[in-house]
Structure 1
Amino acid sequence: MESLKVSDHMNQRPVTFTSNMTVAEAVERLLQTKQTGGPVIDTHKKVIGFLSEQDCLVHMIESSYYREQVAHVKDIMKIDVISIKPYTSVIDLAQKMMTEKPKVYPVVDDDGYLLGTINRSALLHAIDLQLHDGYRLRAS
C-alpha cells in the first residue's frame, strides 16, 4: 500500500479556540462547525491545549447544577495534547487511534504550530480511497 501522509487528508481549516474565550462561545463554534473538538491556540497559532464536546458537556451539566459563574476555555481544556506531524503515515495514525482515546488530533509542525487537524472519518476516507485504487489496479 502506497504511503499515505496525514498532510494529504487533514482538515486545514479546523475549529480553534483561545484560552480566554468563554465556554459558551466555544460551544457556539463547535455547533456551527459541526466538529467534535479542536485545538486551543495562542496568538502565534501554537497549540496550548485541546477542547472537545465532552469537555464542554461536562462543564455545562455542572453549571446547570451549581449555577457557576462564566467559565473560560482555559478552565476546562486538556493541557496534555497528543498531536501528530504532517508527515505521519495515515496507517500508523489509524493503528494509534485503535488504542488511544482522542478522536481528533491536532497536526503541528516540528515547532508545535498548528497546521490542521485529522479525525477518524478522514482516516477512514483516506484508507477507503487507497483500497478502491488498489482494487481498480487489480481489475485492470
Structure 2
Amino acid sequence: MTVSIASLHILVDDPDAALAFYQDTLGFTKLFEAENGGYRWITLGVPSQPEIQIVLEQPHGGRSQENGDALAALLAKGELQMIQLKTDDLDETFEKIAAAPGAEVLQEPTDQPWGQRDAAFRDPAGNLVRIAQR
C-alpha cells in the first residue's frame, strides 16, 4: 500500500489577492477554479511536483456560518497552521516576495542552527509561510 499527498488547502479571505501572490509571485500554475454559493476554490500546481496540488479556499466555502466565522477569525489573527515551501534560489524568491503586494516579511533569509537556510513571511491572507533553500 502506498499513500501520498494529493492536495493541501490554504484558507484565504481574498481569492484574487491569493491567486496573484501564489501564481505571479511564487510561480504556481492555476489548474482549476470552481465557484459555489458565492465562494471560490482555486487549485494550483507546480510543474516540478505535478502530483501535489494546493487549493486556495475561503473560510465560509462549504461550511456552516458558525464554522466559517471561527476559521475567518483564526485567519485574521494569523493563527492557522504554517505553510512550508522550498525553492532553488532563496534570495531571488525572497526579493520577489518582499516586493509583492500584501506580503509581510517576518524574517529575511537566515542560516538556521538546524542547518537550513530559510525566510518567513505572511501571505496576503496573513498565513505564516516559511520558505527554505532546497
- Compute the TM-score of the two structures, normalised by the length of structure 1: 0.24
Higher relative contact order (CA 8 A, sep 6+): 1
Per residue, is there more strand in 1 or in 2? 2
Pick the structure with greater CA Rg: 1
Per residue, is there more helix in 1 or in 2? 1
